[in-house]
Chains A and B, each alone.
Chain A
Amino acid sequence: MTTSIPTCREVEPDIIAMAAAEASPAAIRRVESHVAGCAECRTELGQYRALEGMVLDLRGAPAPGRGPTLARAELENRLTDLRSRLVRFGVFDSVLGPILIGATEHGVSVVEYLPSRASVGVKLARGGADAVEDRARTEGLYRELAEYLEGRRNRLDWPLDFRLARGDFQRRVLEATARLPYGAVASYAGIAREIGAPRASRAVAQALRRNPVPIVVPCHRVVGSDGDLVGYAGNRVGLKQRLLALEGIRTAGGRKGYHIERDAVYYRHLDDSEYCLPTCGSIGTKPLGEFTLYASRTRAEAVGLAPCTSCRPDLHALPA
């Protein structure tokens, strides 16, 4: 270890450190050995200490300018606005492929099947939404969705944010569809009737085609008036079939499309309080749009329906 006395230039950083009370013992020794023989640097140490004193004053003094109060108020306004617009989303590998879930502080606002993980944000960029990836905040939602897709859960009780819905009509369609229970199927015409626009079944189909939150708003439970599984996530009707199968709704078909097996479900006519076998009365002659279909007696009874007293579905169950 060298004990030679450092030069003025060499010792200046140590002087600054010592004045700031952050010098190492070695640095202090170097300064002390130097200033013992250098009056100029002894003065410098005093000057730097005085400067530290001024800096200390500065620390307690207000910063130049007008203080934070106004800026804080403005910030709170902008945060309130951003909070309600900001979509926090995560992308997850579900059994149905990569799926995006996004929510604002008001509720879940987007669920989207992605063709690939790389195609994030196409939908989010639309409609003026401001989006940021936030896996931590969406993971809980995905866990519930995964349970749902594995058949371990049959409700997703998520608060929903429909503010990006295209107008009042779509909102009404989504709300009516959201009321369709697990294991039940209605038609576009049925939803149209439900929202008081009985002639608007095509518009209902359009509104559901743009459902921002598929699965959660179960548009897969809405089928064509002839029982066909039409239009889902672009043309991925296979997904629709899988989601219905999960709920016990039997479908037939294949490549060319699927349709509900109409003799394998229970029927409820309009707002009746009873459910029937497919063979009951005049069911076969009425349009499917007048019925809600149920996968099983359990599903029908879960919504408070009683077995029909003439066809007695309670005595003559459909073959499972």
Chain B
Amino acid sequence: MGRVMADQAFEAVVAVHHAEIHRYLARVTRRPSDADDLSQETFLRAFRAHGALPPGSNVRAWLFTIATNLCRNHWRSEARRRRAHEAMGSRDERHDAGGPEGEAVLEQANIRVTEVVGALPLKQRLAFTMRKIHELEYAEIGESLGCSGESARAHVFQALRKIRRALGDLAIAPLGAGEPRA
């Protein structure tokens, strides 16, 4: 009956999109456990709500919107917690970017870009990652961030400008596409 079919359809949603959403969250959050938790929460919310999704909706963009909202809420509460910790003199642990395995795999240049991206303001980081890593349309990114496609584009450009400044001279000559730097 209809219910069962719809549940199977959701299994397909998980199968198709989970890895990408997890990857997105791993890039925009600080701790590996955040990506695990937030990706779970994304799909649990999606499961509750997908019955109300009009047929023909862009499920991928919708999942990015849920993940982005969760990430922003998470960031807000993290920031509150961090401020409280700092007030008490605790150490700031925001640069815990990924576990040791992940780092070993990342190439040198990627590590640098990843670090710089990690230091961007959240909105820019989200917009940059959605556009440059996941190749979403500006309109979809705007939807996720609750702004216009134009503003989403401005966030991406602002991110690129900051990354460019932070990286300094990129030694253009020896750097071909796909070739590791240094």
Instruction: Using known A-B contacts A66-B32, A137-B3, determine if residue A71 contacts B22 with beta carbons closer than 8 Å.
Output: yes
| B178 and A82 within 8 A (CB) | no
Assess whether B164 is interfacial by the CB under 8 Å rule. Answer: yes
Q: Would you call A65 and B35 a contact (CB within 8 A)?
A: yes
CB proximity of A214 to chain B, nearest CB, Å: 21
A48 to B171, CA, bound (A): 11
Give the contacting residue for B164; candidates A48, A57, A59, A68; CB below 8 A. Answer: A48
Contacts of B91 in A (CB 8 A): none
Annotate B1-30 by CB proximity to A: 1 below 8 A, 0 otherwise: 011101100100010001100111011000
Contact B40 A71 (CB under 8 A): yes
Smallest CB separation, A114 vs chain B (Å): 20
Segment of B42-50, B69-77, B81-89 engaged in the interface with chain A: B42-50
Interface size, A (range): 35 or more
In the complex formed, the residue of B with least CB distance to A49 is: B172
Q: Does A16 contact B160, Cβ atoms closer than 8 Å?
A: yes
Main secondary structure of the interface of A (DSSP, over half): helix
Q: Mark B46-73, 1 if CB is under 8 A from A, else 0.
A: 0111011000000000000000000000
Of B47, B49, B110, the residue contacting A83 (CB under 8 A) is B47
Q: Given A64-B114, A136-B52, A51 and B167 touching (CB < 8 A)?
A: yes
Q: By the criterion CB–CB under 8 Å, are A105 and B97 in contact?
A: no
Contact of B44 with A72 in the complex, beta carbons under 8 Å: no
Tell whether A56 is near chain B: CB-to-CB under 8 Å.
Answer: yes
Name B91-132 residues within 8 Å CB distance of A: 97-99, 101-103, 105-107, 109-110, 113-114, 132
Across the interface, do B51 and A136 meet the contact criterion of CB distance under 8 Å?
Answer: yes
- A88 and B10 CA atoms in complex are apart in Å by 15
- Could you tell me if B102 and A63 are in contact, using CB atoms closer than 8 angstroms? yes
Chain B residues, CB < 8 A from A16? 157, 160-161
In the complex, whether B163 has a CB less than 8 A from a CB of chain A is yes
Task: Please name the residue on chain A nearest to B132 by beta carbon.
Answer: A55
Q: In the complex, A49→B114 CA distance in Å?
A: 17
Q: 10 interchain pairs (CB within 8 A)?
A: A47-B172, A51-B160, A57-B107, A59-B135, A61-B107, A63-B35, A64-B97, A64-B114, A66-B101, A105-B7
Cα–Cα distance between A132 and B105 once the two chains are bound (Å): 42
CA distance A53 to B39 in the complex (A): 28
Q: Closest Cβ of chain A: how far from B48's Cβ, in Å? A: 4
Q: How far is the CA of A50 from the CA of B97 in the complex (A)?
A: 24
Binds B, one of A73-81, A231-239, A243-251: A73-81
**8 Å CB contact of A65 from B40, B43, B52, B102:** B102
Q: In the complex, are the beta carbons of B102 and A79 less than 8 A apart?
A: no
Contact A79 B175 (CB under 8 A): no
Q: Which residue of A58, A68, A136 contacts B18 across the interface (Cβ within 8 Å)?
A: A68
